[in-house]
Amino acid sequence: MSKKTFARHARKQFAIIGLGRFGSSVAKYLAELGYEVLAVDDNAQRVQDVAHAVTHAVTADSTDEEAMLALGIRNFDVVVVAIGQDIQSSILTTLILKDLGVPYIIVKAQNELHGKVLGKIGADKVVFPERDMGLRVAHHLISPNILEHIELSADYSIVEMKLPSVMYGKNLKQLDIRQKFNCNVLAVKRGGEMNITPRADEPLLKDDVLVIVGKNDLLTKLEQAHAEP
């Protein structure tokens, strides 16, 4: 596909640079949600593999400032740098995007040191997909009731916990999770619906999911206290 400059659109536009498993997944998901997505990689086969799923797919070198200018990369609301193992290219691409004035830059990091460098050079958000997936697997091994684990910071997380059998029929007041574990129930998911103002006296049902926020060590205690074989 020939390079072209994209005009700013009323709906958010995203550019994904690096089309490995992480980058291509993000690109396809955003496109499925109806957003305009530009997918970029220096590997023509990877570009071809996602071309059917996104708005535009282009083979280009993200470390070439002129190439990025030609794509109109500065016109995108968010650019995700999902470059794989090439840390040098990841850093250089981030620097170029920052210099070009991209409003919001999200960068995939390989490790903590890489992440620190990215933060210092201007990445607005640094993500660790492999580490985060490892955390999710570990938490699921600790407690199969944990459906999702989202790290908010080094100390705090949100978990989605499938209601353990010992909680069936009880209400939030009886469970008193805040007093016992110093964690807060943010919401109760029931039948695909999210209730962000659950009544303290309403009995919980078998298939309910609790959305809980707290310090990581306290959440672990909560998980272990209600772990089921």
Provide the pLDDT confidence category of residue 223 given band limits of 50, 70 and 90.
confident
157 contacts 214 by C-beta, under 8 angstroms: yes
CATH code linked to domain 13-127: 3.40.50.720
Here the tokens at position 110 are 């390989």
pLDDT of residue 224: 79
pLDDT of residue 142: 59
Asked whether residue 39 carries a pLDDT value surpassing 70, the answer given is yes
**DSSP code for 152:** -
Angle between helical axes of 112-120 and 87-100 (0-180°, round to 10): 20
Average pLDDT over residues 74-103: 94
> Any residues with CB less than 8 A from the CB of 126 and at least 6 apart, and which?
106, 107, 108, 109, 115, 118, 119
Q: What are the sequence ranges of the domains in the chain? A: 13-127, 132-225
* pLDDT tens string 156-210: 888 899 998 889 999 999 999 999 999 999 999 998 889 988 999 999 999 999 9
Angle between helical axes of 44-51 and 21-32 (0-180°, round to 10): 30
pLDDT of residue 189: 93
Q: Which amino acid is at 216?
A: N
pLDDT of residue 9: 44
pLDDT of residue 127: 87
Here the tokens at position 15 are 């550019």
Asked whether residue 50 carries a pLDDT value surpassing 60, the answer given is yes
The rounded distance, in Å, linking the Cα atoms of 40 and 51 is 10
* pLDDT tens string 3-36: 334 444 446 899 999 999 999 999 998 998 889 9
Other C-beta atoms closer than 10 Å to the C-beta of 84 total 16
Whole-model pTM: value is 0.63
Other C-beta atoms closer than 10 Å to the C-beta of 191 total 7
3-state secondary structure at position 151: strand
Three-state secondary structure of 31-95: HHCCCEEEEEECCHHHHHHHHCCCCEEEECCCCCHHHHHHCCHHHCCEEEECCCCCHHHHHHHHH
Asked whether residue 112 carries a pLDDT value surpassing 70, the answer given is yes
140 contacts 153 by C-beta, under 8 angstroms: no
pLDDT of residue 191: 87
pLDDT of residue 128: 87
Asked whether residue 1 carries a pLDDT value surpassing 60, the answer given is no
* pLDDT tens string 114-162: 999 999 999 999 988 877 766 666 666 656 677 777 777 778 888 899 9
The rounded distance, in Å, linking the Cα atoms of 175 and 38 is 48
pLDDT of residue 2: 33
Average pLDDT over residues 47-60: 97
pLDDT of residue 228: 64
pLDDT of residue 141: 62
**Which H/E stretch holds residue 147?**
strand 146-151
CATH fold of 132-225, please?
Alpha-Beta Plaits (3.30.70)
212 contacts 181 by C-beta, under 8 angstroms: no
